[in-house]
Chain A
Amino acid sequence: MGTALDIKIKRANKVYHAGEVLSGVVVISSKDSVQHQGVSLTMEGTVNLQLSAKSVGVFEAFYNSVKPIQIINSTIEMVKPGKFPSGKTEIPFEFPLHVKGNKVLYETYHGVFVNIQYTLRCDMKRSLLAKDLTKTCEFIVHSAPQKGKFTPSPVDFTITPETLQNVKERALLPKFLLRGHLNSTNCVITQPLTGELVVESSEAAIRSVELQLVRVETCGCAEGYARDATEIQNIQIADGDVCRGLSVPIYMVFPRLFTCPTLETTNFKVEFEVNIVVLLHPDHLITENFPLKLCRI
C-alpha cells in the first residue's frame, strides 16, 4: 500500500472566489512512518489556449499553441524534511486568493480551445530510493458577482419558411409556424435558460425539437485570431410530433465547468449561443440562433 497523499479542500463544492481563503488539509496516511525531504503545496491558475486546426494548420495547431497565461501561482513549504509517524497525518493549509498586479481571477472554464483551470499540487520529496509523491487537485473559482443591475432581455421569435435564410428551394419546404420566446438572453449562469415554444402549425410531422448550447471561443494570437463555435450540449425538448398550439417549455440548465460568464479579454473570448433546432419529417433541419450573455450575480 505504501504511502498515500491526498488533498482535501474544505468546501465540498470546491468553489472559491477571489479574495477568499482557500483552505483544507493535506492528508498523509501510511502504515509505517514516512521519511521525507519536505512537503510543499503549489496553487496554480492558468488559461490554456489552443488554436483550432481550422483556423491554422494542423501542425501549427498542435505545436504552436499559444503560451499558457498564468493567472496565479504560489508555493508554500508545508513541512520541513523529516518523518511522519505511522497512521494518518493531516496538515492544514490556507491560501489567500489574491492576484498580483492587474491580473483577474477568471472563472473556471473547461472548453475546447480555451481552458481556465485552477489546481492545487502537493509534492512530497523523498530520498533517492523512493519516488516523490505528487497529488493534484482542481478547485473551482467563480468570478465575483457582476456589478450593476441584472436586466432580463426577453426575446420573442417566430419561425416560418419565410424567416429562414440559407434555403435553396424555399418552395419545397413544408409550411409551418413556430412561435416562442426566451425569457431572457441575458442569463444568470446558475439559473436555467427558460422560455416557451409553440408549434402553431406544421404540415410536416415534427421529429424533434432540440436546444443546442454552443460555445464560441476566440483566441487572439500573432497571426490574428481564431473564432470557433462548438457544441457543449444538446437537449431535446420535444420528441415526436407534439401537440399543436400547446406550449413546450424551453428549459436548459447551464452545465457547470463547461460554461462560465461570458468572458472577453485581450487575448481570448468565451461566448455562448443557443440554437433552437427543429427537425421535421422527412429530413428538414431548421435552426434559430440566439446569442446569450451569461453572467453571475
Chain B
Amino acid sequence: MAPAEVVTRAVRSGELPLTSMASAENEACAVRSVACPSQAWRLQKVLCGRCGAASCPSQTWRPGGAGRGGVRMGSRADGPRTSGHVTGKMAVFPWHSRNRNYKAEFASCRLEAVPLEFGDYHPLKPITVTESKTKKVNRKGSTSSTSSSSSSSVVDPLSSVLDGTDPLSMFAATADPAALAAAMDSSRRKRDRDDNSVVGSDFEPWANKRGEILARYTTTEKLSINLFMGSEKGKAGTATLAMSEKVRTRLEELDDFEEGSQKELLNLTQQDYVNRIEELNQSLKDAWASDQKVKALKIVIQCSKLLSDTSVIQFYPSKFVLITDILDTFGKLVYERIFSMCVDSRSVLPDHFSPENANDTAKETCLNWFFKIASIRELIPRFYVEASILKCNKFLSKTGISECLPRLTCMIRGIGDPLVSVYARAYLCRALLTEMMERCKKLGNNALLLNSVMSAFRAEFIATRSMDFIGMIKECDESGFPKHLLFRSLGLNLALADPPESDRLQILNEAWKVITKLKNPQDYINCAEVWVEYTCKHFTKREVNTVLADVIKHMTPDRAFEDSYPQLQLIIKKVIAHFHDFSVLFSVEKFLPFLDMFQKESVRVEVCKCIMDAFIKHQQEPTKDPVILNALLHVCKTMHDSVNALTLEDEKRMLSYLINGFIKMVSFGRDFEQQLSFYVESRSMFCNLEPVLVQLIHACVAYCFITIPSLAGIFTRLNLYLHSGQVALANQCLSQADAFFKAAISLVPEVPKMINIDGKMRPSESFLLEFLCNFFSTLLIVPDHPEHGVLFLVRELLNVIQDYTWEDNSDEKIRIYTCVLHLLSAMSQETYLYHIDKVDSNDSLYGGDSKFLAENNKLCETVMAQILEHLKTLAKDEALKRQSSLGLSFFNSILAHGDLRNNKLNQLSVNLWHLAQRHGCADTRTMVKTLEYIKKQSKQPDMTHLTELALRLPLQTRT
C-alpha cells in the first residue's frame, strides 16, 4: 500500500509541480529570500505566504513557483520580469471583493416591478405569494421538530389503552425465556422455510420438531416424579467399602429397583424435572457402561412409566420428547451391543444384513431382551420399551419387525387415556418409519395412506424408494383419492431429497407419463408445478424445455393459465432458481413462450421482477450476449410499461433498481458504439423511471469520459470535457464532473501555440482565453471536493495557466488573471449568481466561512500581484498602449468587483487610472464614459464612496 501511495503522489506532483507540500515551503522561502532579493513581489508573497502558511497550509498555489526549489527559480530569473521596477506602493494590495446583491442588480436592470395590491387579479398570485411564504416558514421553523413534537404530544387512544395494562403484553413481558426462545425459534424456522420456499414443502424432520416441542410446551406448574432412589444410594457408596459390602449394596440396590422403594418427588419445577430426567439418562448410560443391563432396563421402564401420568397436561409433549430421548438412547445401546456381538474378528456385519448373518449368541441375547420385555407388567412401559428396541428384530428374522408392528399398534388400544395413546402411536411411527413403509406397501391400494406416508416421512426415505412409490401409485385405485395428488406428494419429496442417480430419468419419465395425461388443467398444473423442481434439479435444459412445452400445451387451451397464475409463477421461480446462467436459461426455447402465458399485467410484472432479481443476484460478469439482452430488455420493458400514475413510489424504486441492475451488467467492452446505442435504446424504453434515466446518464457520462480522449481536436476535447462536466453536474454526478474538469485542466498544457483552422495556422491563445473564461464560469458553481483543499480546481487551473508557455508580447495571461479575479470575487459572495438545481455550490457548503474567504482573498492578492507585475513589464515604449488598455481593464475589474471603500484598493484604482492615461494612449471617450458610469453608480445607495473616487480621477486632455 505505502509504496503505491508514494508513487501516485510523485506522479501528481509531477503533473502539478506547484502543489508542493507546505512543510517544504519554509525552507524554500529562506533560500529564495537570499537568492532573489530583487523579486520583491515574490518576497512579499513569501512573507505573505509565511504568515499564511501556519493558518492555511492548504494554500498551494504560488505563482512563479513559490513552492518550488531554488533551481527552478533561478531559471525563471532570466525572464522579462527581472527588469521590472519595484515600487513598494504597488506591492501590497489586499483584495476586498465588493458585496454584490445580484438580485438587486438584476432587478435594477429590468423594468420596475409593480407591487401587486391585495385583491388585484393575478392568475399566479395565490401560488407565488402564499406558497413561498409558507415554504419559508417551514424552512425556518424546523418542520421536523414540530412534527416530532406533535407525534409525541398527540395521545394515541389505542396506545394509551394498551400501555402497560394490556394483559397480553404483560404476559409477554413476564413470559419465560423459553417461550421467547420458542417464538424466536419458530420465526427462524419460518425464515428457513421461506428460504426453502422453492422447495415448497412442509416436511420437517424430527430433530426440528423436537426442539420446537420442548420450547413450546412448558409449564410453571409443579410436577412430580416417581423415582427409585437407587442412583443416589449408589453414589453414596464410597470406595472404602469392603467388597462384600459392595456386593450387598448392589443387591440392595437391585432390590430397590425390584420393590417399591421408589420415592415420589413432589413439587418439582419444570427445570428440576428436566434435570431429573437428564440424570436418569445419564445413569442409564452409566449403568449400561458398567454392564448393569438389568438396571438399565429398569431405568427405562421407570422412565416410560412417567408417560402414563398426564397430570400437567401442557407439559406432556415436552415430557414425551425427553423420555423418548431416553428410550432412543436405550434402543440404540441395545442394538449396538447386539450388533457388536455379530462382529467377530473375521468380518463386520454390513448395514443391511439378514438374520442368517447374525450369530447365535447375538440372537440369543436379542431373544432374551424380548422375553424380558414381554414380561414387563405394565402396559405403557412394555409398549415403549419394546418399540424402542424393535429394530433389534432384524437379528431374529427378516419379517420380525413388520410382524410386530400390527401387534404393537393394536396394543396401543389398551391405553385408555387418549392423549397417552396418541403419543404412543407417534412414538411407534417415529421409531419405525421403514417398517411402516413395508407395511403400507403390503396394504397397498390405499391411496390415502400412501399420500400420508409420502407427506409425513423423511424425504430421503421416500426419494430412495421413488420407483417403488411410482409402482404403488400406479397400482392403487383412484377412487377416493386422486392419483395426481399422490404424484404431487412424491414430487414434493423428490424436490427435497435426491433419488438414486440411476433411477432419476426413469422416475421423471414414469411420473410425467401420468401427469401429462391429466385432463383437468388445475390437477395438471398442481402436479407439474411440483415436478418442475425435480426436473430442474437433475436434468439439463433439454428436459426442462420439454416440460415447459408440455405445460404450455396443457395450459393454453381455453386460457386455462388464467386460473393458474400462482402455480405458473412458481414454475418460473423454480426454473430461475436452478438456471443461474441466463444464456442457458434463455436458450430454453419454451421459456419466453412460457412467459407469454402471464397475460395479466400484475402477474406478468411479478414474474419479470423475479427474473430480474435472479439476474442481478446471479449474473457475475457483464454481458453482451444478444439473447440475454433481447430477452431481458423485453422483460424490463414489461416492468417499465407497468408504471403509471398510480404506481407507488416504492414500486417504482423497486422496478428502477431492477432495471438499473440490468443496465449495469451490460457491457460491450471496447465497442463503445454498441454500448451507446444500447443506452439510447434503453433511454427510449425506460423514460418513465427517473432513477433509470439517472443510471443511463451515469452510463453516458462514463461513456463520454472514455470517448473524449479519442478525439483529435484539442479544443473540441476541451469543450467536450467542459460540457460533459456541466452535464454531469446538472445530473448531480459530482465525482464524474470533477473527473471531467480535472481532465480538462490537465489537457490545457497540451494546447499548441498555433492551431489549424480552416487550413490556416492561427494562434490559439484567443481560443484558449475563450475556453478558460467559459470554464471559470462553470467553476463558480462546482462544489469543492471534501477531500481536496479549498478551491482545488481553481488552484490547479491557475498552476496550469502559470506554467503554460504564453506568446511573448501577449497579454492573454493577464486577461485570464483578470477573469480569475472576477471568478474569485464572485466566489466570495454570500450567494452566488447562479446555481444548479440540487447541487450545493461552495456558497452553501462553506456558508461564507471566514477561512474560506481568507483563502479566496489570498488567491486574489496573488493574482493581482501577477497582474501588476505584468503591467510593470509593459513600461516600454512599444508596449505603452497595451499597458494603458490593460490598466484600464484592470481598473474596470476593480471597479466592478472590488470594494473601493478599502483605501489601498481605492489608491490602486486611482493609480491605474493614471497609468491608463499616463502616456496619452487612452481613449478619451472611454475614459469619459467610465467616469460617467462611476458618477452614476455613486448615486446608488452604498456606493456613495464612489463620489469621492470620481473626484480623484482627473480626465487627461490630449495634449
Interface residues of A (CB under 8 A from B): 11-13, 206, 209, 233-243, 246-249, 251-253, 255-256
Contacts and interface: CB of A to CB of B under 8 A. Distances in A.
Contact of A246 (B375, B379, B413, B417): B413
A240 B417 contact: yes
A192 to B, nearest CB: 8
B364 A243 contact: no
Nearest to B361: A12
A235 B414 contact: no
A241 B407 contact: no
Given A12-B361, A236-B379, A240-B417, A249 B374 contact: no
Contacts of A13: 360, 364, 367
B377 A234 contact: yes
B414 A242 contact: yes
Interface string B143-177: 00000000000000000000000000000000000
A253 B416 contact: no
A233 B377 contact: yes
A249 B360 contact: no
A267 B927 CA distance: 161
A199 to B, nearest CB: 10
Given A239-B308, A243-B413, A249 B382 contact: no
Interface residues of B, number: 26
B407 A235 contact: no
B28 interface: no
A171 B411 CA distance: 33
Contact of B414 (A12, A233, A238): A238
A237 B407 CA distance: 12
Contact of A236 (B360, B371, B378): B378
B921 interface: no
B216 interface: no
Given A239-B415, A239-B417, 16 more contacts: A11-B360, A235-B374, A235-B377, A236-B379, A237-B414, A238-B414, A238-B415, A239-B308, A239-B414, A240-B417, A242-B414, A246-B413, A248-B414, A249-B407, A252-B374, A255-B374
Nearest to B414: A238
Contacts of A251: 407, 411
Interface of B: 308, 359-361, 363-364, 367, 370-371, 374-380, 382, 407, 410-411, 413-417, 420
Contacts of A247: 410, 413
Contact of A256 (B371, B382, B413, B417): B371
A96 B378 CA distance: 43
22 contacts: A11-B360, A12-B361, A13-B364, A13-B367, A233-B377, A235-B376, A235-B382, A236-B377, A238-B413, A239-B378, A239-B379, A240-B415, A240-B416, A240-B420, A241-B416, A242-B415, A243-B413, A243-B416, A248-B413, A248-B414, A249-B411, A255-B371
Nearest to A237: B414
B338 to A, nearest CB: 13
Nearest to A251: B407
A59 to B, nearest CB: 28
B375 A233 contact: yes
Contacts of B407: 249, 251
B18 to A, nearest CB: 100
A284 B377 CA distance: 20
Contact of B380 (A234, A239, A256): A239
B360 A238 contact: no
A245 B407 CA distance: 18
Contact of A253 (B371, B378, B413, B415): B371
Nearest to B383: A239
Contacts of B380: 239
A236 B382 contact: yes
Given A242-B415, A249-B410, A235 B375 contact: yes
A129 to B, nearest CB: 24
A246 B411 CA distance: 11
A238 B424 CA distance: 13
A243 B420 CA distance: 13
Interface centre among B376, B377, B413 (most CB of A within 10 A): B413
A10 B417 CA distance: 48
Nearest to B360: A12
B209 to A, nearest CB: 26
A164 B417 CA distance: 28
Nearest to B368: A256
A252 B411 CA distance: 11
Nearest to A213: B375
Contacts of B414: 209, 236-239, 242, 248-249
Nearest to A197: B414
| Most chain B beta carbons < 10 A, residue from A12, A234, A240, A248 | A240
A242 B416 contact: yes
Contacts of B367: 13
A12 B364 contact: yes
Nearest to A253: B374
A238 B364 contact: no
A233 B377 CA distance: 8
A238 B416 contact: yes
Nearest to B308: A239
